[in-house]
Amino acid sequence: MAIDIRLARIDDRLIHGQVATAWSKQMEIDRILVISDEAAENQIRKLLLKQAAPSGIRVNVISVARMHEVYQSNILQFEKVALLFTSPQDVEVLVRQGMELSSINIGGMSFSSDKKMLTNFISVDEKDIASFIYLSEQGIELEIRKVPADHKQNLVELLKKQNFL
């Protein structure tokens, strides 16, 4: 497709120190697209996310539906892009609509009362697991790493090992 997607990452913290520094530099990112319906509707959160990005990197905070439109267009054809998601469900929606991804990095998914801890920084519920299984079945690598220098860990293998599947 027309967009050079250098990183697709699920991390409910979105833009923070690790993304802003290590990932952006390692992947030579020009633009970060935060894809979150909730964040796109919250003007204060949008402003804060834009301010959290390193200088020289443009940030757009958009809805899932808008990302589908952007992906179908040539708007970002000369950009090196990082896609940041808060949930695997949003990624699944876009993949079902035709977005092609080869790999998704899972950086952080917060614990809540309805989720089980998979690692010390990733917690999942049944909906998350179902989305991850779908994405894996599409041939998309699901890898766990906080920062680029970390050793890749396969999410599906870890789900099996921890008896989540």
Tens digit of pLDDT per residue, the chain (165 long)? 578 999 999 999 998 887 778 899 999 999 999 999 999 999 999 999 999 998 899 999 999 999 999 999 989 988 999 999 999 999 999 999 999 999 999 999 999 999 999 999 999 999 999 999 999 999 999 999 988 999 999 999 999 999 998
> Strands 123-124, 141-144: parallel, antiparallel or unpaired by DSSP?
unpaired
Are 123 and 111 within 8 A, CB to CB? yes
Per DSSP, 28 falls in state T
Please give the positions annotated as active site. Answer: 16
- The helix (run of H) or strand (run of E) holding residue 123 is strand 123-124
Check: CATH 3.40.35.10 for 4-161? Answer: yes
Give the residue extent of every domain in the chain.
Answer: 4-161
Q: Could you tell me which of 102, 142, 136, 96 has the C-alpha nearest to residue 122?
A: 142
Distance CA 137, CA 42 (A): 34
Contact 137, 126 (CB under 8 A): no
DSSP annotation of 109: B
Question: Side chain identity at 28, as an amino acid letter?
Answer: E
Asked if residue 87 lies in contact with residue 122, where contact means CB atoms within 8 angstroms, the answer is no
